[in-house]
Structure 1
């Protein structure tokens, strides 16, 4: 099932040029963040991540609307993005707020359990154990909001129901997404290294030298040293590679998520049968 929908998504992206628009926008924004990080530092760039995410939600909603309506024009992309923007924003805000509350509670519990300072390692592990199943169950709240016109909590309930009823298929979906994302990043990382091979020559020379030491190499590979090594030209080349990578990655993953969810809601959901009977007043009594 998961491979059939992935193939469908590839075909859909290939024959619908407007689906590339979210990838182009994502690539431009990601490249912009990279350039700002190099020019202004992490302090300014990290504060733009939220704005970038809010802008991308418009195109996420528009992509889902295109797949839902089997359309292929930019007008449907824009109208769908505006129509469903808050319908997909609000559920994710609820999920984020819930995870934040859980993290605060975990911090309080770890402090109470240790009787001293916060055990960040234990708190981090507990947060991961809570975050993974939460995101697994609520991951399709945005597609539920678009494909079924569900409101905030209805979309969350629908996502939980669908993910729990088709847990193995959803797990396969995540595996396929991870494989494709890894393949995309791996290919463009090779391209990036080829374009910057001359500037990265000191690393290559050190790696092949008799005195090679992994600890020293890790020290050389810090973001600051790497940026200084590739220089301004390398910064622009890296931005171009990031842009190209997002153009491929984003449209396929968004189309895949929409096609996969459309298939899931078309599949029967297993319902647990119970035995019982109605009394004379129409009340149900379960045995």
Structure 2
């Protein structure tokens, strides 16, 4: 983009950024024509501040006026909507903070604005397993769970099994096939996996699973970790519809290529 075009774009962005009231004034106008006095009352801005914002909007062709009534033009509505989306994206990035570098590759496809209200559960000095405790309580209260994972965390294996056997949890998991090669080191878990294999609620994916996520009822949680590492930096939890839709689609993609866990794949207990 030529420098002059960049400069013009930045000037228009500055109209929104000059005052915290600018975005509010234009967003109120997306609801329809109104007066400067009403805009001041709804935004808490002074009449002079509102007048200055409207004048700048008119100079850019974003606002039309007739008498005391002001309304957005098509250009103004588009600019307002696009800036609103940009603002939400920035909020999402700021909310993730340093955790953004631990996003698993598939989650990097998400628009950060859909994570701006997510809960980010991280280990603390007093509770280094806080994300795991959170997930355990979440599972205990759940009705339905679908998981896509690189591996099965031992502390959840019996919990999920017990909840399922008691009829409290409808569960299904797609797990990376190579993880089952390590199961010989956990002989106490083998009977549980044999039972789950017989129930048909475990599928194995013959390849790399680049994310560990849980779709529990209408909420999604996915783990934050270093690339290609199993260490946990935190757990992101959200019920944002776009993230839930993304997670369900991702799960179904891997599920379609997975095969039911065959009891013969398991080592002897």
TM-score normalised by the chain length of structure 2: 0.26
Higher helix share: 1
Q: Report 1 or 2 for greater relative contact order, CA contacts < 8 Å, sequence distance ≥ 6.
A: 1
TM-score normalised by the chain length of structure 1: 0.25
Higher strand share: 2
Give the greater-gyration-radius structure (CA).
2
